[in-house]
Amino acid sequence: MTEHVDTLIIGGGQAGLAMSAHLRERGLPHLVIERHRIAERWRSERWDSLVANGPAWHDRFPALEFDDIDPDSFAPRDRIVQYFETFAAQIDAPVRSGVEVTELVQAGTGFRAQTAGGVIEAAQVVVATGPFQKPVMPGLVPPEAGLTQMHSNAYRNPGQLPAGAVLVVGAGSSGVQIADELQRSGRQVYLSVGPHDRPPRAYRGRDFVWWLGVLGLWDAKARTPGMEHVTIAVSGARGGHTVDFRELAAGGITLLGRANSYAGGVMGFQPDLTHNIAFGDANYLSVLDTADAYAAKAGLDLPLDPEARRFGPNPDCVTNPVLSLDLAGAGVTSIIWATGFVVDYGWLKVDTFDDKGRPRHDRGVAAVPGLYFLGLPWLSRRASPFIWGAWHDAAYLAGHIAGQKG
């Protein structure tokens, strides 16, 4: 039996739910198909202690507030899951969970989706399967090395790891938060730090996400060329704080440059740590400068924050970086690869990708009529993969779908 729907949304995360809300508002029939459960990534691909990277007043849909927590606090992971469940119930979203789309092909003027539960045909399809789908692990250290290795999406808590020191590779938001948690749990931690931005958590009494808003940076249309491999280190953990690598080192974490080789139990690191820390500092200071200039121009009456410009001295591990580490000698028994994700569209058999396998689209509208993408990094702007950014992109796509129907 073939089921027919007008618009099929694939993925029941925040993007799929935002899409459902906007289609519903326009009275457009649709179905959301989710292979597991609503907000599955927040349930099973994030560590236990994770909190939102942005405060609760910000990291939410405009249509629903977190009514039980301080708006300036950072919602815990389980509360975020509950938030999306509540939202789905509030809009009575037609979500069918536990059904995976294993193949999507074009059929006539529309599409045919293959699922374990049967075939679904749809005039429009919105692909909302996530910005961070498949974990990337560089494969530097072979399994024969006898170490426990996992990607950050499989890390849950310190108790999951065997006794011993831990090497965390990657110092974006995931890597720094996991390294910090492990160090606080009493582990010896080594943290491999690549090029990064590390904006202040707050400056002159306002959270960084507020500054991004008033400075128009959430709306930036594309990454600055050359910054494609620069990660961002922010944290809402412990009430929210600026990620400061000097503080992490002072707490006992050994900072290292980018991991680039492994042979005979010895891990090699690039001699780039000093540069990477300086690069992060420069980014941090540029945010303060831009914020100050904006505050002066707009006549904002915000308290001054001279302390924010004071850095402690560089720790020894930054001034004399370790370039190779005998893992067994250092007691390292585990490696956590906080090395990012790629998309995975093996099931999407539609000619809609460029030569690098990236979806071709304009603000989420694919060149193939009726096909849409939502939730991807830089889909329309910087905010696109984040909770409220997906909401605004979904509004645009709903308008486009409505427009096609005349």
Query: 3-state DSSP call for residue 369?
Result: coil
What does residue 199 show for φ and ψ, rounded to 5 degrees?
A: -65, 160
- Work out which of 5, 11, 61, 235 binds ligand FAD, going by CB under 6 A: 11
Strands (E), 100-178: 101-107, 110-115, 118-127, 134-135, 148-151, 165-169
Closest by Cα among 134, 130, 135, 132 to 375 = 130
User: Tokens for 198?
Assistant: 């590390």
- Work out which of 55, 110, 130, 172 binds ligand FAD, going by CB under 6 A: 130
DSSP one-letter code for 13:
S
Does the protein bind ligand FAD through residue 77 (CB under 6 A)? no
Does the protein bind ligand FAD through residue 41 (CB under 6 A)? yes
Helix residue spans in 164-238 (DSSP H) = 173-184, 208-214
Return the number of the residue (110 or 131) whose C-beta is nearest ligand FAD. 131
Contact 135, 151 (CB under 8 A): yes
Site string for ligand FAD, 357-376 (x = CB under 6 A): ------------------x-
Does the protein bind ligand FAD through residue 262 (CB under 6 A)? no
Return the number of the residue (34 or 181) whose C-beta is nearest ligand FAD. 34
Q: Amino acid letter at 373?
A: F
Distance, in Å, from the CA atom of 350 to the CA atom of 156, rounded to the nearest integer, reads 36
Does the protein bind ligand FAD through residue 95 (CB under 6 A)? no
Does the protein bind ligand FAD through residue 46 (CB under 6 A)? yes
Does the protein bind ligand FAD through residue 174 (CB under 6 A)? yes
Return the number of the residue (46 or 206) whose C-beta is nearest ligand FAD. 46
Contact 68, 80 (CB under 8 A): no
What does residue 379 show for φ and ψ, rounded to 5 degrees?
A: -55, -50
Does the protein bind ligand FAD through residue 386 (CB under 6 A)? yes
Does the protein bind ligand FAD through residue 79 (CB under 6 A)? no
Does the protein bind ligand FAD through residue 52 (CB under 6 A)? yes
- Work out which of 9, 10, 179, 259 binds ligand FAD, going by CB under 6 A: 10
Which residue in this structure is represented by tokens 């709306």?
219
Question: Residue 84's Cα: distance from chain center in Å?
Answer: 17
Site string for ligand FAD, 310-349 (x = CB under 6 A): -------------------------------------x--
Instruction: Work out the widest C-alpha separation in the chain, in whole angstroms.
Output: 69
At closest approach, how far in Å is the CB of 96 from ligand FAD? 9
At closest approach, how far in Å is the CB of 187 from ligand FAD? 20
Does the protein bind ligand FAD through residue 175 (CB under 6 A)? no
DSSP one-letter code for 379:
S
- Work out which of 5, 12, 335, 393 binds ligand FAD, going by CB under 6 A: 12
Closest by Cα among 198, 205, 159, 209 to 176 = 198
Q: Which stretch binds ligand FAD (CB under 6 A): 34-42, 269-277, 290-298, 395-403?
A: 34-42
Q: Amino acid letter at 395?
A: A
The CA-atom distances, in angstroms, between 346 and each of 2, 39, 46 are: 23, 21, 23
Does the protein bind ligand FAD through residue 101 (CB under 6 A)? yes
Does the protein bind ligand FAD through residue 8 (CB under 6 A)? no
Residues that bind ligand FAD (CB under 6 A): 10-16, 33-36, 40-41, 46, 52-54, 59, 100-101, 128-132, 174, 347, 375, 385-387, 390
